[in-house]
Amino acid sequence: MSVKREPMELQWTLRTAPHAVLDILRGCNVKCRACYNSTAKLTCRSFEQVKADSETIMAFRPVSTFGLIGGEPLLHPDLLSIIRFLKERRHSVEIFTNGMLLTPQFCRELADAGTDLVFMHIGLGQIRKDLPDNQSTEAVNKLRDEKAKMVVDAGMEAAFSVTLQRDTLNELPNLVRYFLASPYLSYCLVTLYRDTEKTGQLEGSLEEGIRGTFTPYSSPQELSMNELQEVLAQQGMQPFTHILNSVSRDTPGWVNYMTAVAFGNVETRLLHCLPSPFEKWYVARYYKKHGRYPFYNRPNPLAARAQLLLNGLCGNWQNLPFLLRNLFRRIMLKRLIVQSIAHLAPDGRLDFCSNCPDITVKDGKVVPVCVCDNMSRGRKLEIRN
């Protein structure tokens, strides 16, 4: 009989969430179907501007991990200097890239500078030189594997990201199976498509509140978090942690699934993990010791086994036979993260992940990255009680 357990509510607040992103350039060398923040012309924020953005964010919250995004961040001429700057300040560093420019040599340079994790957006429907015009799922997965192996061989962790729309939801089961079977990929980030142009102009910041003018509309390609979770439940997966939305408090805007994968010569064994009191204790202890919450930690086979053991001893007994049966196998803890893009509630308030992990700086103000292109310049928003 399967155990049903509620996902763990993360202990972060908006002010103590341990993650942020630095939007370092506009412009890209790949055309994606659902891209919400690219332009044709390459424009880079200077090294000094990126440093200033990081300081603005650190004044807002104690970040442990920074993600570097664009456009295509590998096009930034000062990328390696930016990574070194962040590592000198004891931050973990993620890069979100389409992977086109990744070569074994470039991967070594990124690793030497201090990059920890590389998310690659490689998918069907992209216009890119390293995929044929008549793309197939097999060709896309082959390219993902080639790039992920380069990343792992250089000493970094590999991950991939995908944006799902209604007409691509049927691809999710195969996508999950591919991800869990990969010996290279540790994370999969799934973003639910939203037509951000329909959101219109927004004003304010996370400090003072963000509002806009609500306009009812329906988009046939938008998916709800509930729809996606139903598909994952059919694969036997249950949420491990989540973050509820700031306005619609009964709906999560960010959900994390964790699966233990034991690799063998003949078969791959899976254990879809459930939360336990151990995780809450560990996170609270980490924050007390370091003054910030954990977000990304380098993989450690012994630590993975220890987490499964302690999680099992705290109530998830199915972990224990899994560990015994796979005592001499390689075990990876894989995390599938689902995020929805913020949207306006009928009263004009922005409904976003209440403890938003993906903040950035736009025109000197801290805002959710998913709507940063909707933020308008000009007058300060007047917040009324």
Buried b (16+ CB within 10 A) or exposed e, 133-146: eebeeeebbebbbe
Model pLDDT for residues 232-289, shown as the tens digit of each residue: 999 999 999 999 999 998 899 999 999 999 998 888 999 999 999 999 999 999 999 9
Structure tokens at 77: 């001429």
Can you tell me the distance from the alpha carbon of 102 to that of 143, in angstroms, rounded to the nearest whole number?
11
Angle at 180 between CA 333 and CA 178, to 5 degrees: 155
> Residue 3: pLDDT above 70?
no
> Residue 379: pLDDT above 80?
no
**pLDDT level of residue 36 (50, 70, 90 thresholds):** low
Structure tokens at 341: 């893009």
> Nearest to residue 115, comparing CAs of 152, 147, 87, 78?
87
- pLDDT at position 34 is 60
Q: Distances from the Cα of 340 to the Cαs of 185, 193, 225, 251, in angstroms?
A: 22, 7, 7, 10
Model pLDDT for residues 306-349, shown as the tens digit of each residue: 999 999 999 999 999 999 999 999 999 999 999 999 999 999 99
Considering only 4-8, 104-108, 168-172, 213-217, which range has the smallest mean pLDDT?
Answer: 4-8
Q: Taking the alpha carbons of 220, 225, 227, 231 in that order, is the dihedral positive or negative?
A: positive
Look at the block and give the residue holding tokens 């599938």. Answer: 336
Asked if residue 97 lies in contact with residue 87, where contact means CB atoms within 8 angstroms, the answer is no
> Nearest to residue 159, comparing CAs of 225, 103, 115?
115
What are the chain's domains?
A: 8-258+337-374 (3.20.20.70)
Is residue 261 classed as helix, strand or coil in its secondary structure?
Answer: strand
Reported pTM: 0.93
Asked if residue 122 lies in contact with residue 140, where contact means CB atoms within 8 angstroms, the answer is yes
Model pLDDT for residues 203-237, shown as the tens digit of each residue: 999 999 999 999 988 888 899 999 999 999 999 99
